[in-house]
Amino acid sequence: MKLQNENIDEIRYNEDVSKKMVNPFVKLIKDKERIAEAVQNGQPLSSLKDIKFVNPI
Amino acid sequence: MLTRYDTILLSKGGGYQFTTSDGDVYIAYFTEFTLIDSNQNEILATSFGFANKEGNKSHRHDVKIKNTIIHLIMEFFENQDDAAILYICINNDGRERNRHITFGRWFNEMNKDFERYSSLGEHAKAGFYSSIIFKNTNPRRLKLIESFYFTIAYYWGLGENNQ
């Protein structure tokens, strides 16, 4: 598999990874929708309890 | 010096706020994002996004918005050589491809010390657009590339046969 902009020829896909983990992309999509709704309603993002916001160091 | 809007760091991790000359209020934010690699290791990254208080209404083209977003991303990387920012364009209005292209164009205007890797064409056909960016000196560079593509392939079932 060739990656964009990178001469890497192989990525191994290990089926042993636990499928019990939440799909992080699906969670991010849902988080973005909740954040957009909160912003439109003037609700502080810190009130969205299960989203871990980070600030630059 | 690029012109941009002043940003306010909101308290309690509430992101950054800026207001355009048209009075539109934007909130930009960073959240934790965990990739996985083929050895089941969790690879910590950060997602970036921004939202407008007016939602998806059409806005006048304003180069200062772009400059402000780029400034926030550059500032994020300032003291974090091993950090990575992931962003995703959600398909809630049919314009996700346009946003992905726009963000790619913005990235190209950042300085050349950064690299960007994007989800592939077959992902786009499924309506999925995502990229990850980091400094080209990032010590985790190869791990980030591998885990970004592995995580997409693993959870979306795309990319495994792309050899």
Contacts of A10 in chain B (CB under 8 A): 163
Query: Model's pTM, two decimal places?
Result: 0.83
Task: Tell me whether B134 touches chain A (CB under 8 Å).
Answer: no
Task: Tell me whether B142 touches chain A (CB under 8 Å).
Answer: yes
Number of domains in chain B: 1
From B55, B88, B117, residue closest to A29, measured CB to CB = B88
* Residue positions counted in chain B: 163
Task: Tell me whether A1 touches chain B (CB under 8 Å).
Answer: yes
pLDDT of residue B97: 79
- Whole-complex ipTM: 0.84
* Residue positions counted in chain A: 57
Tell me whether residues A5 and B151 touch, CB distance under 8 A.
no
For B146, the closest chain A residue by CA position comes to A11
pLDDT of residue B105: 86
pLDDT of residue B72: 93
Structural domain contains residue B119: yes
pLDDT at B48 over 70: yes
pLDDT band at B158 (very low <50, low <70, confident <90, very high): low
Contacts of A40 in chain B (CB under 8 A): 51, 53-55
* Cβ-contact B142, B94 below 8 angstroms: no
Structural domain contains residue B137: yes
For residue B66, the enclosing domain spans: 29-47+59-156
Structural domain contains residue B15: no
Mean pLDDT of B48-75: 86
Q: Rounded to an integer, what distance in angstroms lies between the CA atom of residue A54 and that of residue B138?
A: 19
Mean pLDDT of A26-45: 92
Which residue's structure tokens are 């930009």? B28
pLDDT in tens, B103-122: 888 888 877 899 999 998 88
Tell me whether residues B33 and A28 touch, CB distance under 8 A.
yes
Q: Rounded to an integer, what distance in angstroms lies between the CA atom of residue A22 and that of residue B30?
A: 19
pLDDT at B129 over 70: yes
pLDDT of residue B58: 65
pLDDT at A48 over 60: yes
Structural domain contains residue B14: no
pLDDT of residue B104: 86
| Alpha-carbon distance A16 to nearest alpha carbon in chain B (angstroms) | 8
pLDDT in tens, B12-47: 777 899 999 999 999 999 999 999 999 989 999 999
Structural domain contains residue B130: yes
Q: Rounded to an integer, what distance in angstroms lies between the CA atom of residue B144 and that of residue A37?
A: 31
Among B87-91, B116-120, B136-140, which stretch is predicted with the lowest mean pLDDT?
Answer: B87-91
pLDDT of residue B56: 63
Angle at Cα A50 formed by Cα B10 and Cα B42, nearest 5°? Answer: 105
